[in-house]
Amino acid sequence: MSTITGATAPVQMQAAVVEAFGEKLVFKDFDVPTPGPNQILIKTEACGVCHTDVHAAKGDWPAKPALPFIPGHEAIGIVVAMGESVTSVKMGERVGVPWLYSACGHCEYCLSAWETVCPEAQFSGYTHNGGFASHIIANPDYVAHIPAGLHPTEAAPLICAGVTTYKGIKETKARPGQWVVISGCGGLGHLGIQYAKAMGLKVCAVDIDNTKLAHAKRLGADFIVNAKEVDPVKTVKAATGGGAHGVLITAPSLPAFNQGIGMTRKRGTCVLVGLPPGEFPTPLFDVVSNCISIVGSFVGTRQDLAECLAFAADGKVKADIELQPLSAINEVLARLEAGDVPSRVVIEFP
């Protein structure tokens, strides 16, 4: 039996549950779980809705979550109870429960600070119940520590969309003054543009929606391209003098991947983070003869999380959010799939 420290928890929690892939989430009440050893109980304040939640609820990817499950991996909340042996967080602390729920801590990847690719990694809102719920169980060693002064609703998108684009831009190896393309200017991309500008890069924003591109311009993009209206590869190459040094593809759409490789400068790096199901053709001769690197990038480590939150705490990056209640989750997921969410919807909990 574990010892629980903390105030008496409420008896019931509310959650939105995936019971079948491709079906609407079902609203359910459960008993609030009791944190076991090295677990903490979070009372959720806010949870962002990521396009990954659409893929998860549809069962889009080869490794599917076990049903039923509660999605959501941009959750911010307060530690309200802790099991035995918890030392890394305090009662009442504000933390974030990100996609990386836990890792083994002792494999070659964990030891080299690449815990995101640990073979034993667990994922919040996927292999563990996530943040579309009033309460969440989390691993205290893998939560994000939210800087004072960041509102929970503004912090929420940073712990997936923020860290994924921040890490992805670092993975392009582009240096200040060089060009990066941010392809897809939605939840991830609108933050990616801001991180890239804060890192001293020149930004070319690519999308298929003129409203999102107008917003990209307001966020600091130096050049915008509508991939539906012009040849995006030719246009980016002309604007950047031969292609971008780094390309970050966040679009959940396969044609964007092939185009992204075409936009990459000789010896540049094209970083893939969007995860539409399927495969895309790779122009092998161009990649080889132009010495282009194609790199996959998966969220970010705990250190990346701390760094990306610090940018926001310093006022250099700010998520654009639309607040909704948990009861609107099915409409929000449908709007995301239709490309109808301006930047990020955040579920706010009472």
Strands in 125-280 per DSSP E? 135-138, 144-145, 179-183, 202-207, 223-226, 244-249, 264-272
Q: Interhelix angle for 302-313 vs 187-198, to 10°?
A: 80
Q: What is the CA radius of gyration of the chain?
A: 20
Closest CB to ligand NAD among 152 and 274?
Answer: 274
CB of residue 175 to Zn ion, shortest distance in Å: 27
* Structure tokens, 221: 């993009």
Least gap, CB of 50 to Zn ion (angstroms): 3
Q: Kindly tell me which of 81 and 103 has the beta carbon lying closer to ligand NAD.
A: 103
Q: Does 104 participate in binding Zn ion (rule CB under 5 A)?
A: yes
Choose among Zn ion, ligand NAD, none what residue 158 binds, the Cβ cut-off being 5 to 8 Å by kind: none
Residue 140 to residues 84, 154, 164: CA-CA distances in angstroms? 11, 21, 21
- CB 28 to Zn ion: min, Å: 23
50 binding Zn ion? (CB under 5 A): yes
Indicate the SS3 state at residue 218.
Answer: helix
| SS3 assignment, position 294 | strand
276 binds, among ligand NAD, Zn ion, none (CB under 5 to 8 A by kind): ligand NAD
Smallest gap from residue 48 Cβ to ligand NAD (A)? 9
Binding site for ligand NAD (CB under 6 A): 50-52, 55, 160-161, 164, 183-189, 206-209, 212, 227, 250-253, 255-256, 273-276, 297-299, 336, 339, 341
* Among the listed residues 40, 47, 75, 103, the single contact to Zn ion using CB under 5 A: 103
Residue at token pair 């060089």? 178
Task: Give the x-and-dash track for 143-182 against Zn ion (CB under 5 A).
Answer: -----------------x----------------------
> CA 28 to CA 302: how far, in whole Å?
32
